[in-house]
Structure 1
Amino acid sequence: MKKLIFIIISLLILLIIIVLIKTFTYSFKKVSANTTSGWKMIKDDSAIQRLSGGLKIPTVSSRELGDFNYSTFDTIKEYIKNSYPLIYQNAEFAEVNTYGLVFRLKGSNPSLDPILFLSHTDVVPPGDAEVKDKTENIFRPDDQPLPAVSEVSEEWDFGPFSGAVANGRIYGRGSIDMKGMLFSLLESMNNVIKTKFIPQRDIYLAFGFDEEVGGQQGAVKIAEHFRNKNMQFDAVYDEGGLILEKGSVTGINSDIAVIGCAEKGFLSVKIKVKGLGGHSSMPPAESAIGKAAVIMQRLESGQMKPEVTPIINQFFTNVGGSMSFISRMAIANQWLLKPVLLSQLTKNNSTNALVRTTTALTMMKGSDAPNVLSPEVEFIVNFRLLPGNTVKDVKEHIANATKGFDVEIDEIDSVKEASAVSSSNTRAFQMIEAAIKEIHPTAIATPYLTVGATDAYKYQVVSKNIYRFMPIKINNAEKQSIHSTNEYLSIENYMKMIHYFEFIMRNYDK
């Protein structure tokens, strides 16, 4: 017996030694000790005013394309043309499906595949606060007034289409998502042209106009435009990840720049559950709504299995150096501690979305009266697919959850598989890292999984190197303002974003 206890204790000690060795020798990315502030911000008032003017144009996209107020999209086309005459004089310009805008700055070496930067002109509605019309004294560069805009006074510090510049910020719907990036790209190309710099490869800008409602008429048509020309891009850069301020991610003691090298897929289904209807005074043993509740419980409690995909494993390798010793130990010893690691990750909403296909019950409809049993209850469930899971896998998962019940299952909205994963071992990714060091030298740059949908997905037909990243550093409060009230972009972020894109344009082939 003593011999057995000795063997067990020896094995435990050996196991602890192995775990510690693996933790201390694991190749976590070194956290930069750089104390320099990087590129020093140079405030450009004229660039700020051009963005401000763009935010005053209420280019709101709605669910039904026919409901768009296209006059505002005509206005922003004209505004961009008048604001950046150098671009129109020196770059090729094309309209795709009337409101998609494509610019090409020719490079000196046509044998090189071009690079492509994306954005979109549309924004989400300003919210539910009371809206009143107000004519602003807004001027284009040619001093022609813009049309009236709307102002929301209750929940915004400044109107959502005021383009107000105050407190070191530029306020307005779309300032972050995504006119800030759109105008920074135009400013960057304008600066490149102004200095007579000629890149080696062509530089393209492509702006959709319906990204917020799926991009089917904007990005899809622009990608088809490129594919019909048999074009392939060396890199495609779009929105996605951000620079998350130190402390905004629990357990990570550094600024982290999360670069989306892939995005999750999307599937929404409507599940109709059938049962006995009638008067609530004589209810059946199992009502339709009760059956629906059982299915919903199965879906929520028996979700698809979590897993640490290669892209998330790379994320942990990069950021683990700034995490606690216990976290580093779990990451370095997944051969033993992966169940523990996954258990912790799935307890948090944000990290849970990184390691599994998520299940979200979003809508439900049953009886219209309190004393009536509906013979049919329907609910909607939305899945965001992890790379490696397929739509077919999710449908099988739904079939198992609804087994034994009389149901109808219908797909709604657009359905898409998870995107391909772009490599971080490319010139395109290295340029992102270099440009981040220019504006935020101490931030850890890392591949990441974008959990939301972007226009970038549509460009897989013309490139295998697609990266989703907006180079702005924000805190949790600013992140919450996206698609919500009081959206703003700091002037510092805007100036650094312009420099970031200009840096890539000038240095891609150096």
Structure 2
Amino acid sequence: MKLSKIFLGIAILALVLFLILIIKTYTYPFKKIVESQEKIKTSGNISIMDESLQRLAGGIRIPTISTTEYEETNFKPFDEFKQYLRDSYPRVYNSLETTTINNYGLVFHWKGKNSTKKPILFLSHYDVVPVTGYNLDTIKNSPVIFQPKDQPIAPIQENKNSWDYSPFSGAVVNGRIYGRGTLDMKGMLFSILEAADQLLKEGFEPEQDLWFAFGHDEEVSGKQGAVNIAQFFKSKNIEFEAVYDEGGFIIAPHSILESIGKPMALVGVGEKGFLTLNIEVEGIGGHSSMPPEKSSLVYAAEIIELLNSTQMDAEIIEPINNFLKNVGGEMGFTSRMAIANQWLLQPVLIKSLSKTPASNALVRTTTAITMAKGSDAPNVLSTTAEITVNFRILPGNTVKQVMDHVENLCKGYKVHIKTISSREPSKISSSQTDGFKKIESAVNKIYPGAIISPYITIGGTDAYKYQIVSNNIYRFMPIMVNQFEQRTIHNENEHISIDNYSKMIAYFKELMQ
């Protein structure tokens, strides 16, 4: 009798717990998607002029490649690009105040009607990464390919590992613009200038001051560009209401999360930090014919396995919690229940998010073993082996915490740990500000029904340097991309669709207004 009462009590508790989970799931404040009534009319592509496409294509043809060793940069293309912008946008250059910082950092000031309101800053950069195996001398012989803008988008071979058109051709064909920098970041730079040019032509005068700042070395940390431009603003005691830079995208339906059937506009309200370490591991060297039980390379392999299998703890920080709240309403019941009942099911939720690289990167400091080296000969055992490991640090973690984590894993081994580069995670900007709401409004008009949510930018951006002049920094490029298109950044066949480019111009025009 006593045993049956215990079982009955357990059953009642289980039922109560189940009811609590169900009630919390159905009452959880998942974001409801409300489409804007002020849609920008679109019939296929938003209207775009051939001249706008040609201006971007011409900018892509100038190979502004930044290099790790700044002094080794070929600055001739950068000089050419500066002049190209001036020639392409005379109305912008004649109407806005322009300043050059450190020879190549470009700053534009558009005075507004109300000087008492804090200004807005739009960022981009015009340097690009190199193209492997491509001879720049052939750029002079690259043909200019320009199809009419109403050319339908042709299918693309997603697994192709080569360029359909020369990487600095700026070819406009099959409904796309091809070339290095179309996505990262000349497309956004030209969109900002196109939007400003159109508004100036219409006689628009902004309410508050608008600034544009275009760096020239973002791909190699922005130390000569964005750092100096931010200091320029700081020296003038300019504090921005909002700063807009690259970061998130509009993710196509079913592209990352299979259950999400709507576009997701992911606005980076912060970005991860990083720490790159070189770990030198000592062992016994000698001839390969008489190997010890474990050589330095074997010890290094053990450390690699420890680093890979024992990673930093996962956690759901506030921006990601907001992200889950915003997208959860479109997910299945089981996922919604885990999100709504994190007080009990957070370990299950974290385990689920940890299964895919994209979502795993949002909930933990990631560990990537990028390089390993033993001896220089096949029959030699080196006395030391080297490992290079790169961490992307989740806001809330610190460089010191990651370093302590590595040192703890390396206990018992003879190692020398050297920091190659490091940076703390950025501050987190609020998604409750007017600056964020302006993004929501503009996206809603151009991509009706899109889920708009804060999230954490995985990669580094120039925006980080501008924390000294604003607390509200938002990282977002308003184009819709699938996973394949994202992979073309820094890769073969980088391109932007004409539809995306035209909508990006419309977005910045809307935001500036």
Tell me the TM-score normalised to structure 1 length.
0.94
- Of the structure 1 ranges 277-286 and 438-447, higher mean CA displacement relative to structure 2 is found in 277-286
TM-superposed deviation, 1:253: 2.1
2:435: which partner in 1? 428
2:152: which partner in 1? none
Match of 1:55 among 55, 60, 63: 60
- Of the structure 1 ranges 122-131 and 429-438, higher mean CA displacement relative to structure 2 is found in 122-131
Code of the aligned partner of 1:59: T
Contact 1:53-1:138 within 8 A present in 2 as well:
no
1:81: which partner in 2? 86
- In the superposition, relative to structure 1, how do residues 23 and 378 fare at CA in structure 2: closer, same or farther (>3 Å)? same
TM-superposed deviation, 1:283: 2.0
TM-superposed deviation, 1:128: 2.9
TM-superposed deviation, 1:32: 3.7
Match of 1:30 among 32, 38, 53: 32
TM-superposed deviation, 1:131: 6.4
2:13: which partner in 1? 11
Match of 2:23 among 18, 21, 28: 21
TM-superposed deviation, 1:31: 2.9
- Residues 104-142 of structure 1 deviation map (CA, whole Å, 9 limit, x = unaligned): 000111111110000001111123357661335779xxx
In the alignment, the residues of structure 2 paired with residue 88 and residue 78 of structure 1 have an alpha-carbon distance, to the nearest angstrom, of: 11
Contact 2:144-2:171 within 8 A present in 1 as well:
no
2:75: which partner in 1? 70
Pairwise CA RMSD = 1.7
Equivalent residue runs for 1:284-433 within 5 Å: 284-413=292-421, 415-433=422-440
TM-superposed deviation, 1:349: 0.8
In the alignment, the residues of structure 2 paired with residue 88 and residue 38 of structure 1 have an alpha-carbon distance, to the nearest angstrom, of: 28
In the alignment, the residues of structure 2 paired with residue 399 and residue 123 of structure 1 have an alpha-carbon distance, to the nearest angstrom, of: 36
In the alignment, the residues of structure 2 paired with residue 456 and residue 127 of structure 1 have an alpha-carbon distance, to the nearest angstrom, of: 27
Equivalent residue runs for 1:52-201 within 5 Å: 52-128=57-133, 133=138, 134-135=140-141, 155-201=162-208
Equivalent residue runs for 1:450-469 within 5 Å: 450-469=457-476
Code of the aligned partner of 1:366: G
- In the superposition, relative to structure 1, how do residues 465 and 416 fare at CA in structure 2: closer, same or farther (>3 Å)? same
Code of the aligned partner of 1:215: G
1:146: which partner in 2? none
Q: What secondary structure does 2:248 align onto?
A: strand
Code of the aligned partner of 2:463: A
TM-superposed deviation, 1:39: 3.3
- Residues 343-396 of structure 1 deviation map (CA, whole Å, 9 limit, x = unaligned): 111111111100000000000111112221110111100000000000010111
In the alignment, the residues of structure 2 paired with residue 84 and residue 36 of structure 1 have an alpha-carbon distance, to the nearest angstrom, of: 30
In the alignment, the residues of structure 2 paired with residue 391 and residue 313 of structure 1 have an alpha-carbon distance, to the nearest angstrom, of: 23
Match of 1:441 among 448, 460, 463: 448
- Residues 246-285 of structure 1 deviation map (CA, whole Å, 9 limit, x = unaligned): 0102232211000000000010000001111111222223
Code of the aligned partner of 2:396: G
In the alignment, the residues of structure 2 paired with residue 200 and residue 400 of structure 1 have an alpha-carbon distance, to the nearest angstrom, of: 55
- In the superposition, relative to structure 1, how do residues 137 and 169 fare at CA in structure 2: closer, same or farther (>3 Å)? closer
- Residues 442-496 of structure 1 deviation map (CA, whole Å, 9 limit, x = unaligned): 1100001100000000100000000000000112221111111111111111111
Tell me the TM-score normalised to structure 2 length.
0.93
1:276: which partner in 2? 284
In the alignment, the residues of structure 1 paired with residue 161 and residue 412 of structure 2 have an alpha-carbon distance, to the nearest angstrom, of: 51
Unaligned stretches of 5+ in structure 2? 146-159
In the alignment, the residues of structure 2 paired with residue 135 and residue 359 of structure 1 have an alpha-carbon distance, to the nearest angstrom, of: 43
In the alignment, the residues of structure 1 paired with residue 12 and residue 338 of structure 2 have an alpha-carbon distance, to the nearest angstrom, of: 22
In the alignment, the residues of structure 2 paired with residue 468 and residue 495 of structure 1 have an alpha-carbon distance, to the nearest angstrom, of: 19
Q: Which aligned segments of 4 or more residues in structure 1 are displaced greater than 4 angstroms?
A: 33-38, 129-132, 136-139
Code of the aligned partner of 1:107: G
Contact 2:314-2:365 within 8 A present in 1 as well:
yes
Q: What secondary structure does 1:110 align onto?
A: coil
In the alignment, the residues of structure 2 paired with residue 462 and residue 131 of structure 1 have an alpha-carbon distance, to the nearest angstrom, of: 38
TM-superposed deviation, 1:297: 1.4
Unaligned stretches of 5+ in structure 1? 140-152
Code of the aligned partner of 2:49: D
In the alignment, the residues of structure 1 paired with residue 30 and residue 229 of structure 2 have an alpha-carbon distance, to the nearest angstrom, of: 40
TM-superposed deviation, 1:36: 9.3
- In the superposition, relative to structure 1, how do residues 136 and 292 fare at CA in structure 2: closer, same or farther (>3 Å)? closer
Code of the aligned partner of 2:429: S
How many pairs are equivalent? 492
Q: What secondary structure does 2:377 align onto?
A: coil
Contact 1:273-1:408 within 8 A present in 2 as well:
yes
In the alignment, the residues of structure 1 paired with residue 207 and residue 48 of structure 2 have an alpha-carbon distance, to the nearest angstrom, of: 29
Contact 2:35-2:448 within 8 A present in 1 as well:
no
Q: What secondary structure does 2:17 align onto?
A: helix
Contact 2:296-2:383 within 8 A present in 1 as well:
yes
Equivalent residue runs for 1:188-267 within 5 Å: 188-250=195-257, 251-267=259-275
In the alignment, the residues of structure 2 paired with residue 249 and residue 282 of structure 1 have an alpha-carbon distance, to the nearest angstrom, of: 51
- Residues 292-348 of structure 1 deviation map (CA, whole Å, 9 limit, x = unaligned): 122111111110000000110000000001111111010001011111111111111
Contact 2:295-2:381 within 8 A present in 1 as well:
yes
- Of the structure 1 ranges 84-93 and 32-41, higher mean CA displacement relative to structure 2 is found in 32-41
Matched, 1:503 2:500: no
Code of the aligned partner of 1:6: L
TM-superposed deviation, 1:172: 1.1
